[in-house]
Chains A and B, each alone.
Chain A
């Protein structure tokens, strides 16, 4: 008995040490110079916490070894094999697995005899958050990898949305239904219905949210998986779960807020309203002639430019144009042109999506600038090249008060001397708002696949 108490003391001490390491690790992860070390430190903290937990195990060691080795193998394989362009969906997938793990932990805790009322409430909350994180992340994965095409408005989506709204009273019901705790697992009907409803609710939560709002959803799901882990920690009376889970919850929350601010919308508007039904139709349509150019013309203008700003968007990811963009950037620099990249926080499908793509293509990160860095000196830029971005460069956001995206901070490329817009066709962006930028006096449209168009410019430079 005394021996067991000693083990618990040792375990708790190690848990505190690894909590501190997690805290330092995530702090270091937030700075460029120390990020790599921060990740190692947090991995080491994870190792300590897991290893010391193994001092007192109830589960059969064979089950544990099989689970850890198999899981480790699957996780490592996915992490090593995945293409960098598939990062958003993969982060969503891993996140979902974390949520599923807490979901199963709480389920197992539910089956324990003599849970107190408070524990019962915690179990239900953890199941709910973990379950929504799991099924929601799977839907996010499906949407990001474009395997799932269903969106707002379809019948099936509406059915799942109603499950989401049903799940909330159901959660309250199961929380205040303590008699259930004694009945299960012999009579699991209520509980099983709740489990299923929770998973359906997660689907209904994410399904109606469109592609351009994905950065917010991914951050929020990330935050939820941490909160679920923290609740599981309360349930199991484990301090390292609480600390690590809360840190993840907080970092996800911060990213969610940053993303929502970058769109000048509230989180509830993004999650439950969306652009389409926000009331305003695209008001004035500043139509006019668009001025298409060819890659040859683009090359001639670029050759004489002394400063160029590249503004990438989701279209660059779709066209996989990041490598050829980097090549063009290097050729321009050799030609004596100053090249910068203007990165909008919500360009792409997850926070920092463009940064990852450009880093993969070997673009030095000190060339990447945020909107507030490039906007003040925009009128000195000779050519701004917009590659597959639309809403984040839409001047309506600053000029047209009735526009649904009015007030959203944008990269003000329309103030540059010349703007090249690389686009497949004249379709509007995710917000469904017409972009007056395309009709401006200083705008030239370069239609076609971004990778091919820039490839031609690069070829011209090489000749």
Chain B
């Protein structure tokens, strides 16, 4: 339980940190920020890799989680990069 309190603390601090970090974003970057944040939410891939393997059902669930998180990670970063490369100042 102590562990949860500690991690809950990390969770709250990270949210506040996030709110502080991104509070003033120029509207030009709204889409790239959203898409880049979306790629970061693919961190679920780490969670998927931590799953246990006990029986076929668990394997299927793990495979699904790894597959979809990977699509999110690769697709998210690539498309953000593609988008950012278009933003140019002449």
Contact = CB atoms under 8 A, between A and B. Distances in A.
Interface in B49-77: 49-54, 57-59, 61-77
B73 A46 contact: yes
Interface string B72-84: 1111111111111
Contacts of B76: 75, 79, 94, 98
A331 interface: no
A370 B64 CA distance: 42
Contacts of B84: 35-36, 39
A226 B37 contact: yes
Given A91-B34, A351-B31, A101 B58 contact: no
Contacts of A101: 42, 44-45, 47-48, 64-66, 68-69, 72
A426 to B, nearest CB: 30
Nearest to B25: A30
A118 B1 contact: yes
A74 B22 contact: no
Interface stretch (A252-260, A272-280, A287-295, A393-401): A252-260
Contact of B15 (A104, A249, A345): A249
Residue from the set A228, A249, A353, A355 with the largest chain B CB neighbour count within 10 Å: A355
Contacts of A351: 27, 30-31, 34
Contacts of B16: 250
**Interface size bucket, A side?**
35 or more
Given A35-B84, A250-B22, A355-B27, A229 B37 contact: no
A239 interface: yes
B78 A105 contact: no
Contacts of A79: 74-76, 78-79, 82
Given A35-B87, A71-B70, A98-B72, A105 B30 contact: no
A394 to B, nearest CB: 20
Contact of A49 (B41, B43, B65): B43
Residue from the set B75, B76, B87 with the largest chain A CB neighbour count within 10 Å: B75
Interface stretch (A62-70, A146-154, A311-319, A442-450): A62-70
A157 interface: no
B72 to A, nearest CB: 4
B38 A94 contact: yes
Contact of B43 (A73, A240, A343): A240
Contacts of B11: 230, 233-234, 242, 246
Contact of B39 (A36, A42, A67, A76): A42
Consensus secondary structure, chain A interface: helix
Contact of B29 (A30, A73, A109, A242): A30
13 contacts: A29-B37, A39-B84, A58-B53, A59-B62, A68-B66, A70-B70, A87-B83, A97-B68, A105-B47, A108-B58, A236-B50, A351-B30, A359-B88
Contacts of B57: 111, 185
Residue from the set A30, A225, A351 with the largest chain B CB neighbour count within 10 Å: A30
B64 to A, nearest CB: 5
B19 A250 contact: yes
A53 B50 contact: yes
B7 A222 contact: no
A424 interface: no
Nearest to B33: A29
Contacts of B81: 36, 39-40
A32 B5 CA distance: 37
A84 B79 CA distance: 9
B8 to A, nearest CB: 7
Contact of B27 (A59, A78, A250, A370): A370
B57 to A, nearest CB: 7
Contacts of A67: 48, 62-63, 66-67, 70
Interface string A98-141: 10111011011101100000100000000000000000000000
Residue from the set B39, B41, B62 with the largest chain A CB neighbour count within 10 Å: B41
Contacts of A111: 54, 57-58, 61
A199 interface: no
Contacts of A66: 63
Contacts of A458: none
A352 B44 contact: no
A32 B89 CA distance: 10
A246 B22 CA distance: 12
A408 interface: no
Nearest to B52: A58
**9 closest Cβ pairs, A-B complex:** A71-B70, A250-B18, A352-B30, A75-B75, A67-B66, A246-B14, A75-B74, A351-B30, A79-B78
Nearest to B64: A104
Contacts of A249: 15, 18
Contact of A104 (B1, B25, B68): B68
A340 B22 CA distance: 26
Given A60-B59, A352-B34, A105 B51 contact: yes
Contacts of A185: 57
Contacts of A107: 61
Interface stretch (A20-28, A206-214, A431-439): A20-28
